[in-house]
Amino acid sequence: MGGVMEKNSVARWDHLLEQQQTEELLTGFLADASAMEVAGFMAQQSPGKLLLVLRRLPQEHQEVIFSEMEEAKQLGLYQLMSKKEAAVVFAHIPSHQRTDFYQQLDEKEQVELLPHLNKGVQEDVVSLSVYPSETAGSIMSTDFSTVIEDMTIKEAIEKLRKDAPSKKMIYYIYVVDREMRMLGFVSLKDLIMAEPEDKVASHLHEDFISASVEDDREFVAQQVEEYNLVAIPVLNKEKQLVGIVRYDDAMDVIRAEETEDMEKFMGIVSDEEQADYLQISSVQHFKKRVGWIIGLFIASVLSEVIIHRHEALLGRLTVLALYLPMIAGAGGNAGSQSATVVIRAVSLGQVTLKNWLGIILKEARVAIMLAFCLFFLAFLKVTILSKVNHVVVDNHSIYMLAFAIALSLSLQVVTSAIVGATLPLVAKYFNGDPAVAASPAITTFVDITGMAIYFAVAVALLC
């Protein structure tokens, strides 16, 4: 029911906007909606329509709407706004988003915008812009509050009111010394429950997780997720508190990395800037995929060479050709499963290259158990189908044929699992991305090994 009402509301908003009934839209509908609902609706509009309504919305709505928009739409809207208008919105969005947007502007636009920003925002943007895009410094926020260890609780609360951090980050207050070196934190509950004349130091939590500005942002995001943190403090080399990475920003990083890994896993070249599927042209999709597809197509020639070298065997035992897809499919599935498990473990920091032998042996043990199951299933399948179709095998029984195919399948599963576990580790060893060594590459590789195993067993047992 709620979903239907929501769709009807959006349709009504669209109609009013199309009819340029801005006043009715603002006072009768958007005024009662939450900032996030308005943001979702406005994000679908053109920059021109967006600006028309944005100018009439409360400041809170403007900030949320601008923050939720994609970078391309932010830039389009920015081009239509006066620098003074842009500066007001710009100053109130989260600091890391502000920095990301600022870095998208060309040098001339940056110079034109800076004079309209207050000194604090100017310094914040310039200081955050120096950090490389893959580090914690690039995604950290300066929206936090600090208190000095020798302050009283009363003084700390007064400073907290003065700093006025956002509602999102008021739960934890970071405790520093006079040089901004982090000592620990106190919670809002600690401050409320303590006596006004108590010292902050007497309620200090000294056991905390922190990150360095130079840490990889994916690692920092994983720390936030692993320890279930609202935010993680970011320190510089002098252990001074320079920012925080919030939970929602960490989750954005993890989602972006998962998307990138999935694209690499499927042999798709990732873009630095992610865009929606429908917003990427067919030509761009083609460019992202063509390299791997052509490369793996060329590599697959080895499989064809192996098959051609055994044309005489296939001519004599045509039934062998029927089970080539089964061998290739089982190998591809086993290899991809192993690769997926290993890549995930490496990405989460559960294993390192030092564990390489244990990883391969574990995947081999799992593969052997799978191979036993598939051996009996394949043996029954080949036997039953051969009898039903009255297959004739020169000088050999149907059972020998079934045994040879089932044995090939089993060996292929074990080999493929080992290959699937090994290739990501090899990529990691050479400082590459383990995901690059996955799916399409593994499928092509195990096809080659599968054909080699299949015909080697067939020659040994049936010739």
In the chain, what percentage of residues exceed pLDDT 70?
A: 78
pLDDT of residue 318: 77
- What is the pLDDT, as a whole number, of residue 268? 46
Can you give the pLDDT at residue 375? 95
Residue 13's pLDDT is 65
3-class secondary structure, 421: helix
Q: Of 40, 82, 44, 29, whose CA–CA distance to 65 is shortest? A: 40
What topology is assigned to 283-462 in CATH? Tetracycline Repressor; domain 2 (1.10.357)
pLDDT of residue 303: 75
Which H or E run includes 235? strand 231-235
Which pLDDT does position 151 carry in this prediction? 93
Q: Which ranges of 227-355 would DSSP assign to H, the alpha helix?
A: 247-265, 282-299, 301-309, 311-316, 319-322, 324-347
**Is the whole-model pTM more than 0.85?**
no
> What is the C-alpha to C-alpha distance for residues 399 and 155, in angstroms, rounded to an integer?
87
- State residue 411's pLDDT score: 95
pLDDT at 34: 67
Question: 2-120: what fold?
Answer: Annexin V; domain 1 (1.10.220)
Q: What is the pLDDT of residue 437?
A: 58
pLDDT at 2: 42
Beta bridge partners of residue 356, listed in sequence order: none
Q: Render pLDDT for 147-159 as a digit per residue (tens, 0 to 9).
A: 999 999 999 998 8
**Residue 436 confidence (pLDDT):** 60
2-120 and 283-462, same CATH topology: no
pLDDT of residue 132: 84
pLDDT value at position 320?
Answer: 83
Domain ranges of the chain: 2-120, 146-252, 283-462
| Structure confidence at residue 95 (pLDDT) | 77
Residue 15 has what pLDDT?
Answer: 63
Looking at residue 29, its pLDDT comes to 58
CATH code for the domain defined by 146-252 = 3.10.580.10
For the chain, which ranges sit under pLDDT 50? Answer: 1-5, 7, 167, 267-269, 272-274
